[in-house]
Amino acid sequence: DTGVSQNPRHKITKRGQNVTFRCDPISEHNRLYWYRQTLGQGPEFLTYFQNEAQLEKSRLLSDRFSAERPKGSFSTLEIQRTEQGDSAMYLCASRPAGGSAGELFFGEGSRLTVL
Amino acid sequence: AQTVTQSQPEMSVQEAETVTLSCTYDTSESDYYLFWYKQPPSRQMILVIRQEAYKQQNATENRFSVNFQKAAKSFSLKISDSQLGDAAMYFCAYSKSGGSNYKLTFGKGTLLTVNP
């Protein structure tokens, strides 16, 4: 399968713990995005990478959240000191340079449950 | 700020029939994109159809077509000859044109059930 891969698919953690999600984009895609989807809502933009550079961060991305994309390949999203409000599906998407406007290739998501 | 509203939380359709999903949006921009994305259960979200605001002609992709009413800020999706595989959550989304066209604003979604 050459689609966007996200791991783990589901993470259950206790409040206050740190969690990290990984995203492997489609290999030739240099642009990578993180979105968050809470129950009953559509996805919301979190952050955007072009190669290894993080070019934009939403105000939704508090200082407890950090995203990286070393070497412009896979990306990680870390949440420190998790809170119950962090429970959501975290979606990763990628697209190639010059790709069609608005066409993002999404992964299946990583679901976070904070107890 | 741009907003996208989907007023139908759930819809159902009989197999082979036609169904229309509604979407309204609000923006002060004159050039933008509108999208319908499909999210099947436990599967990744995929782009169904895209409309560029400066194009008057409604977009069509096989059994999927849109009714884009720019003045009314309305963007509905029509699915013809519905199939069981069309069952999914459908999200209407908006993006500005230009360099920020990756930053999508989504509606809350409409859950479509297809009855055999």
Asked if omega into A8 is within 30° of 0 (cis), the reply is: yes
Question: What distance in Å separates the CA atoms of residue B12 and residue A4, rounded to the nearest whole number?
Answer: 30
pLDDT in tens, A10-51: 999 999 999 999 999 999 899 999 999 999 899 999 999 999
Question: What distance in Å separates the CA atoms of residue B43 and residue B88, rounded to the nearest whole number?
Answer: 9
pLDDT in tens, A70-115: 988 999 999 999 999 999 999 999 998 878 878 899 999 999 999 9
CA angle B25, B70, B33 (to 5 degrees): 65
Alpha helices in A24-114 (DSSP H): none
Question: What distance in Å separates the CA atoms of residue B6 and residue B23, rounded to the nearest whole number?
Answer: 5
CB contact under 8 A, A42 and B4: yes
* pLDDT tens, N- to C-terminus, chain B (116 residues): 789 999 999 999 999 999 999 999 999 988 999 999 999 988 899 999 999 999 989 999 999 999 999 999 999 999 999 999 999 999 999 998 876 667 899 999 999 999 99
Q: Which of residues 80-99 of B touch A (CB under 8 A)?
A: 91, 93, 95, 97
Q: Rounded mean pLDDT of A59-64?
A: 90
